[in-house]
Structure 1
């Protein structure tokens, strides 16, 4: 048996904008199918919304997404919140998207790409378990946990 997994994000009318941001950050090929392309009448309010989208990079990064029918208030308004308080992460979100890279430079590039309009939960910095770790909630309400895979920095 061979299994793979991909994160599937559910948006509130702004999937196309979110996926364009993610493509600019991660690269890869983006395919988008709208409700209209699958038969919704052209004049319908949601005909141009995303019914299925896939972002795929050559190195195996995958995101799937769509716009939830009838929901157009913007994803950030429905996403909940995540914050750090007294050294712990508090959230009412059901999940985070975790991305590990091989180097701090790679993680910094992803961080920089996602950070515009984001809320920083934990600044990107060396930690006890990683040469670089950070957490932010992007402008679409998706919380990303970013880190450098592998050995932690040497103790000084």
Structure 2
């Protein structure tokens, strides 16, 4: 048996834009279906929202998303819920998305694209546990960790 864990992101009217952005960063195939495609009458406000969407790339990147019906905008943003203080991540978020690559150049190129319009929490650069690490909250409100796999000595 083979299983894969895939992040499924919940949006409020931004799923299409987010998935198109993630495809522009990571490449791959974009699949979208709207509530209207599944039979919702076109005159209803949610008919054009994404009921199923995903980006699947040959490099291993995969993410799924949909629009929560009935709301066009997320809750009003308040104080940042993830920040770095004295080298420590302080957060109230239940999860982050993590992207790990093999080289600083590979991951750095993804960082440059993903950080467009983002709030940088930790600049991308060398870390004690990784040749490069960075953390940001993208323009859609998703917090990402990007890092380079470290080579650990085998015990």
1:58 match = 58
Counterpart of 1:150 in 2: which secondary structure?
A: coil
Q: Deviations over 1:71-121 (max 9, x none)?
A: 21148849x621112321111211000000111111111111111111111
For 1:76 and 1:20, how far apart are their aligned partners in 2?
Answer: 24
In the TM superposition, residue 70 of structure 1 has moved relative to its aligned partner by 1.2
2:89 match = 89
1:117 match = 117
For 2:74 and 2:113, how far apart are their aligned partners in 1?
Answer: 20
Q: Deviations over 1:118-155 (max 9, x none)?
A: 11111000111111100000010000000001238xxx
For 2:71 and 2:10, how far apart are their aligned partners in 1?
Answer: 10
With the length of structure 2 as denominator, give the TM-score of the two structures. 0.91
**Distance change (3 Å), C-alpha of 1:75 and 1:65:** farther
Check conservation: 1:8, 1:64, Cα contact below 8 A.
yes
Q: How many residues align?
A: 151
1:26 match = 26
1:141 match = 141
For 2:76 and 2:129, how far apart are their aligned partners in 1?
Answer: 30
Counterpart of 1:140 in 2: which secondary structure?
A: coil
Higher helix share: 1
In the TM superposition, residue 61 of structure 1 has moved relative to its aligned partner by 1.6
Structure 1 gaps, min length 5: none
Check conservation: 1:82, 1:90, Cα contact below 8 A.
yes
The Cα RMSD (Å) is 1.7
For 1:131 and 1:59, how far apart are their aligned partners in 2?
Answer: 20
With the length of structure 1 as denominator, give the TM-score of the two structures. 0.91
Counterpart of 1:106 in 2: which secondary structure?
A: helix
